[in-house]
Structure 1
Amino acid sequence: MMIKKSLFALVTLNGLCAAAHAQSSVTLYGIVDAGLGYTSNQAVVQTAGKAGTPAVLVGKSNYAFASGTWYGSRWGLKGKEDLGDGLAAIFQLENGFNIGTGQLGQSSREFGRQAFVGLSSTKFGTLTMGRQYDPIVDFVGSIGPTSFLSGMAAHPGDLDNIDNQSRENNSFKYVTPSFRGLQLGALYGFGNQAGSLKNQSTWSLGGQYTNGPFALGAAYLQANNTYGPTGGTWTSSYDGTFSSSINQGFATAQNMQIVAASSSYLVGPVTLGLSYSNTQYKASSFSLFKGKETFNSAGATASWQIDPELRVAVGYDYTAGSSIEGQSAPKYNQFNLSSFYFLSKSTSLYAMVGYQKASGKTLDQYGNVVNATASIGDVANGISSAGDTQTLVRVGVRHNF
């Protein structure tokens, strides 16, 4: 009898373990994106610059291996444990890398794209903690120009983070459930600085409304630098935002503020999109510029699904900054054309071209007034030009797993 009871207990325990295991999951996923690229007028430093003396640049053509043009190459793990009554524990760890060299992306972080853990409830929403995307990425970027055309179509320099070049470290994010097409979210990133809750902190609010073929997203973000003689270094829980010639002269800002919005509308096989953002950099007494510099960006896109295998998209972006020290304001006009051919649900071919024309004056990283130079799209694809024009061409293959 004791043997029968023991066997029954063992079988029951195994069944319970199997049931618990069935309620939990861990998924491995990723994207590998590689191809060939051409960049015109790429800036090559002839003489290094310093305060009072701008760098001397020459433009060179560059034919090169291209990694992560359409989507940044990555691999990641997603986990979920069902806790009952619509509640689940979740986590996500996502690594970015260069497929051409094997090097880690996002400043050599192990999980630089995303790293968070949290709780998700069908009734009350989702709370996550870690290194995450902000509401601009979640609600504006998801229907913005880069969702149709790739990061090459980001507003110049990705000043507004619609193409998610920046993440928030040490952050808490809450996203509501969708209610009649409306979803809201909020994020706060801690600076982790003794004696100051504000230094290096970030906060953001946003939302998105969808109704049939129509979608509209909007968000606000404020990121704070350390107050003091920062020496040109942006130190904040909001990272990776001053890497192009568009805004590198404002890395000593006391804080930055972004208001962004985008919309999309599906008409048969064609999706039309509009986007707008306002990005402001405010100086402190320690900054290398004075007052406030403002960039307004606007764009329009159209994407045509010609058949299940072929999609073509076109876009135009215009960015204008405010005048610096009485000089002519910097302006950037950008055109993009992309085509995508889907070999399967997992594998696609693509070809993309972008062109940008810059004018006016801006600041370099040393605070010198210089001619504005072109820099197409996000910093992952665009390499700043030595002059006022730039052309990018990319062809490649993307595989999802």
Structure 2
Amino acid sequence: MRRVSCGLVCLAASIGVAHAQSSVTLAGDITTGIAYVSNMGSASNWNPYASNPGQGHAYRFLDNNSTGSRFVLKGTEDLGGGIAAIFNLADGFKPSNGAFAPGAGGRLFGSQATVGLRSATAGTVTFGRQYDPTQDLVAMYASDNDWAGTIGGHVGDSDNFDGSFRVNNSVKYMSPEWAGLSVGALYGFSNQAGGFSNNSVWSAAAGYHNGPLGLGVGYMRLNNPDSATNQAGAVGALNGVGSTDDYSNPFTTNPFGALVAKQQIVSAGGAYTIKNATIGATFSDVQYNYLDQTSLHLQNYELNFKYALTPALVLGAAYLLTDGKFSATPGMENKKPRWNQINLGADYNLSKRTMVYLVGALQKANGDARYAALQPSLFPFSSSSKQFVITAGIDHKF
């Protein structure tokens, strides 16, 4: 991470005059690689009733499997009395062609765009487009946010551990750490007349750290995230299906095409480190209620392990299980989809800022889940019950 004096940044960008107590940091991450995908079909939805013609295996140039390529501009201004003004502007991009990442939706700062106040004793309040508190206090215990990357995530990122969507129009509070305990809360406004329920988001989380032990719990609720107003004008907390980005994964529509009326996510995670070894676990309970009165209930379980073989080389392994139940419309049988997955990976640090990685993931669909889907945002569903992906690449932080 390179620190740049505010005077130079402001001079180059013609954005103002620097103050002695101010600083601006220009930073970022570029990650990319190549991947082998064992089987790709034509489907982009989890529909267990539909066929999915196969397209065979593929060798692909892969954007953003590691931490995600992005550039970040953030700064602080000391206001005195232990209070500082802060801002954070970040955007994702694709190294393969230089385009904005899909989650950016054509925005200048699609990843985050916030401004706020920070106090060492009272905590931090930020306003804008940002991640919910479960990203800060729970999601880091999953292997995809540590060493496995995007292909190692839970099916469709139903629990948003990968940060597939950010919250617009939001106000967020994060506390300082009190004897190891931290808490956070967020509310995303719908900006629509008639109340707070349509296309609004609220979330709360708590975390605890004490030496080698870390724990986190969180809750998130999305109210009518795919409303017609949201799709047409993107005025709410989320941009939904049919709009530019964000709230779009295989589960945001049911097999009959109905959109989500409400989604609730309860999550928990933890890790314990013993010398060079760390064992972690996560759990999430995700409930989708659709506009046609059907519902999908998913429970994601993960157990992961990593070991620092040397200061530079880290090895990882994880087992993931997604267990589901789809309550169908009258006259249609209910379905019980299930996906099992294994992640294996190795990270080798060439320096403090540059890393090479090798990650493999194997997924098997069981029960009424007809097709495997390691990462639908990167690859189509498999045309069979199995899918295997192996990727090798480089990650450089600046």
Matching of residues 11-26 of structure 1 within 5 Å:
21-26=19-24
The aligned residue for residue 201 of structure 1 is 200
Deviation at 1:359, TM superposition (A): 2.3
Per-residue displacement from partner, 1:218-253 (whole Å, max 9, x unpaired)?
A: 100000116877999997524524323x55427612
Range that drifts further, 96-105 or 57-66: 57-66
**CA 1:95–1:226: 2 relative to 1, 3 Å:** closer
Q: Percent identity?
A: 36
Matching of residue 395 in structure 1 with residue 379 in structure 2: no
Question: Is the CA contact (8 Å cut-off) linking 2:134 and 2:205 kept in structure 1?
Answer: yes
Deviation at 1:380, TM superposition (A): 4.2
Matching of residue 61 in structure 1 with residue 57 in structure 2: yes
Matching of residue 220 in structure 1 with residue 219 in structure 2: yes
Matching of residues 72-221 of structure 1 within 5 Å:
72-105=68-101, 106=103, 107-148=105-146, 149-221=148-220
The aligned residue for residue 14 of structure 1 is none
AA aligned opposite 1:141: A
Deviation at 1:360, TM superposition (A): 3.2
The aligned residue for residue 6 of structure 1 is none
**CA 1:238–1:267: 2 relative to 1, 3 Å:** farther
SS in 2 for 1:21: coil
Matching of residue 249 in structure 1 with residue 254 in structure 2: yes
Question: Is the CA contact (8 Å cut-off) linking 1:33 and 1:399 kept in structure 2?
Answer: yes
SS in 1 for 2:260: coil
Question: Is the CA contact (8 Å cut-off) linking 2:72 and 2:89 kept in structure 1?
Answer: yes
Matching of residue 31 in structure 1 with residue 29 in structure 2: yes
Matching of residues 327-346 of structure 1 within 5 Å:
327-346=334-353
Range that drifts further, 59-68 or 337-346: 59-68
The aligned residue for residue 363 of structure 2 is 356
Question: Is the CA contact (8 Å cut-off) linking 1:199 and 1:227 kept in structure 2?
Answer: no
AA aligned opposite 1:153: G
Question: Is the CA contact (8 Å cut-off) linking 1:133 and 1:168 kept in structure 2?
Answer: yes
Alpha-carbon distance in structure 1 between the residues aligned to 2:90 and 2:266: 27
RMSD: 2.7
**CA 1:228–1:311: 2 relative to 1, 3 Å:** closer
**CA 1:175–1:152: 2 relative to 1, 3 Å:** same
Alpha-carbon distance in structure 1 between the residues aligned to 2:22 and 2:377: 35
SS in 1 for 2:176: coil
**CA 1:228–1:23: 2 relative to 1, 3 Å:** closer
Deviation at 1:123, TM superposition (A): 1.3
Q: Equivalent of 2:305, from 302, 307, 310? A: 302
Deviation at 1:132, TM superposition (A): 0.4
Deviation at 1:85, TM superposition (A): 1.4
Question: Is the CA contact (8 Å cut-off) linking 1:157 and 1:247 kept in structure 2?
Answer: no
Deviation at 1:54, TM superposition (A): 4.0
TM, length-normalised to structure 2: 0.85
Question: Is the CA contact (8 Å cut-off) linking 1:41 and 1:385 kept in structure 2?
Answer: yes
**CA 1:136–1:33: 2 relative to 1, 3 Å:** same
**CA 1:205–1:307: 2 relative to 1, 3 Å:** same
SS in 2 for 1:249: coil
Matching of residue 315 in structure 1 with residue 312 in structure 2: no
Deviation at 1:38, TM superposition (A): 1.1
Alpha-carbon distance in structure 2 between the residues aligned to 1:258 and 1:233: 26
**CA 1:373–1:150: 2 relative to 1, 3 Å:** same
**CA 1:96–1:124: 2 relative to 1, 3 Å:** same
AA aligned opposite 1:136: T
Larger radius of gyration: 1
Alpha-carbon distance in structure 1 between the residues aligned to 2:113 and 2:191: 17
Deviation at 1:400, TM superposition (A): 0.3
Per-residue displacement from partner, 1:240-288 (whole Å, max 9, x unpaired)?
A: 24323x554276121100000100000110110010000001133xx3x
Range that drifts further, 218-227 or 205-214: 218-227
AA aligned opposite 1:374: A
Alpha-carbon distance in structure 2 between the residues aligned to 1:217 and 1:227: 29
Per-residue displacement from partner, 1:5-26 (whole Å, max 9, x unpaired)?
A: xxxxxxxxxxxxxx97231001
Alpha-carbon distance in structure 2 between the residues aligned to 1:90 and 1:114: 13
Deviation at 1:382, TM superposition (A): 4.7
Alpha-carbon distance in structure 2 between the residues aligned to 1:88 and 1:76: 19
Deviation at 1:310, TM superposition (A): 0.4
SS in 1 for 2:259: coil
Range that drifts further, 298-307 or 59-68: 59-68
**CA 1:231–1:117: 2 relative to 1, 3 Å:** closer
**CA 1:283–1:116: 2 relative to 1, 3 Å:** same
The aligned residue for residue 242 of structure 2 is none
Question: Is the CA contact (8 Å cut-off) linking 1:264 and 1:272 kept in structure 2?
Answer: yes
Deviation at 1:145, TM superposition (A): 2.3
Alpha-carbon distance in structure 1 between the residues aligned to 2:23 and 2:187: 28
